[in-house]
Chain A
Amino acid sequence: MIVPVLLILIWIYAAWNIGNQVILPKVDSVVALLLHPTENLISMGSLSSNVAVSLVRVIMGYLLAAALGIPLGILMGYYGLAFRLMNTFLNLFRPIPPLAWVPLVMAWFGIASMATALGLETGRLYVYLNNLKFSMIFIIFIGGFYPILSSSIHGVMNVNRTLVDSARVLGASEYQVFRKVLIPAAMPSIINGLRIGLGISWMCLVSAEMLPGSISGVGYLITHAYTLASTDIVIAGMVSIGLVGAAMDRVFHYFEVRKYSWQRLAK
Chain B
Amino acid sequence: MAVILTASNLSKIFETESGEPIQAVYSVSLSVTENEFVCIVGPSGCGKSTLLRIISGLEKATSGRVVFRNQEIRKPVLAIGMVFQEYSLFPWLQVIDNVAAGPEFTGMKKKERLKIAEHYLSVVGMSDFSHAFPHELSGGMRQRVAIARAFANDPEILLMDEPFGSLDAHTRILLQKELLRMRETNRKTILFVTHSVDEAVYLGDRVIIMSARPARIRETLELDMAHPRSRANPEFGRLTDHILRELEEEVMGIHN
Contacts and interface: CB of A to CB of B under 8 A. Distances in A.
B134 A266 contact: yes
Among A165, A180, A185, A265, residue most surrounded by chain B Cβ atoms (within 10 Å): A165
Contact of A168 (B76, B86, B106): B76
A168 to B, nearest CB: 5
A2 to B, nearest CB: 37
B179 interface: no
A262 B135 contact: yes
Contacts of B87: 160, 162-163
A213 to B, nearest CB: 46
Contacts of B80: 169
A266 B149 CA distance: 19
B36 to A, nearest CB: 20
Interface residues of B, number: 30
Contacts, number: 72
Given A163-B90, A262-B91, A263-B91, A170 B149 contact: yes
Given A166-B88, A167-B105, A265 B135 contact: yes
Interface residues of A, number: 24
Interface of B: 53, 56-58, 75-76, 78, 80-82, 84, 86-92, 101-102, 104-106, 133-136, 149-150, 153
A177 to B, nearest CB: 9
A169 B105 CA distance: 10
A172 B77 CA distance: 10
A258 to B, nearest CB: 13
B153 A171 contact: yes
A162 B135 contact: no
Contacts of B134: 266
A260 B91 CA distance: 10
Contacts of B92: 184-185, 187, 260, 262-263
